[in-house]
């Protein structure tokens, strides 16, 4: 319960940013680019969330391009808040603390994935049909 409140607090810190990205696809694309760079640099540390993170990135890319539009607004806000948190150098555990710096990022991403699990599954089903 305390952990869930902490995750909600972490995501809520980026609520304003999330609203901005959910209404500005060009800025959302820039954020996604930054997140992709950070993720690739830290792939080993992110191995527990890597598959969901890549699916999330693909889903947002498809949303930005207009190919995929079935993401509810609430889910978009959660996604962009989690990505903004992930990219931000200002978070609960500074990223420069080797071995520990990404723990809070992984925790926030995991929380977000649980909140939007249905949307990730729906996107995967859509992607399979599109292939």
Residues 95 and 67: beta-carbon distance below 8 Å: no
Question: What's the pLDDT tens digit per position in 8-56?
Answer: 666 777 889 999 999 999 999 999 999 999 999 999 989 999 999 999 9
The pLDDT value given to residue 73: 95
- Running DSSP on this structure, what letter comes out for residue 37? H
pLDDT in tens, 97-115: 555 668 888 888 999 999 9
Indicate the pLDDT class of residue 122, thresholds 50, 70 and 90. very high
Q: State the pTM of this model.
A: 0.87
């Amino acid at each position: 319960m305390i952990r869930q409140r902490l995750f909600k607090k972490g995501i809520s810190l980026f609520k304003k940013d999330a609203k901005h990205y959910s209404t500005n696809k060009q800025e959302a694309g820039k954020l996604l680019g930054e997140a992709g760079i950070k993720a690739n640099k830290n792939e080993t540390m992110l191995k527990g969330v890597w598959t969901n993170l890549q699916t999330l990135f693909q889903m947002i890319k498809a949303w930005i391009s207009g190919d995929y539009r079935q993401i509810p607004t609430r889910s978009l806000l959660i996604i962009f808040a989690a990505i903004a948190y992930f990219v931000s150098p200002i978070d609960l555990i500074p990223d420069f603390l080797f071995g520990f710096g990404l723990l809070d990022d992984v925790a926030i991403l995991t929380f977000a994935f649980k909140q939007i699990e249905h949307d990730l599954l729906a996107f995967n089903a859509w992607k399979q049909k599109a292939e």
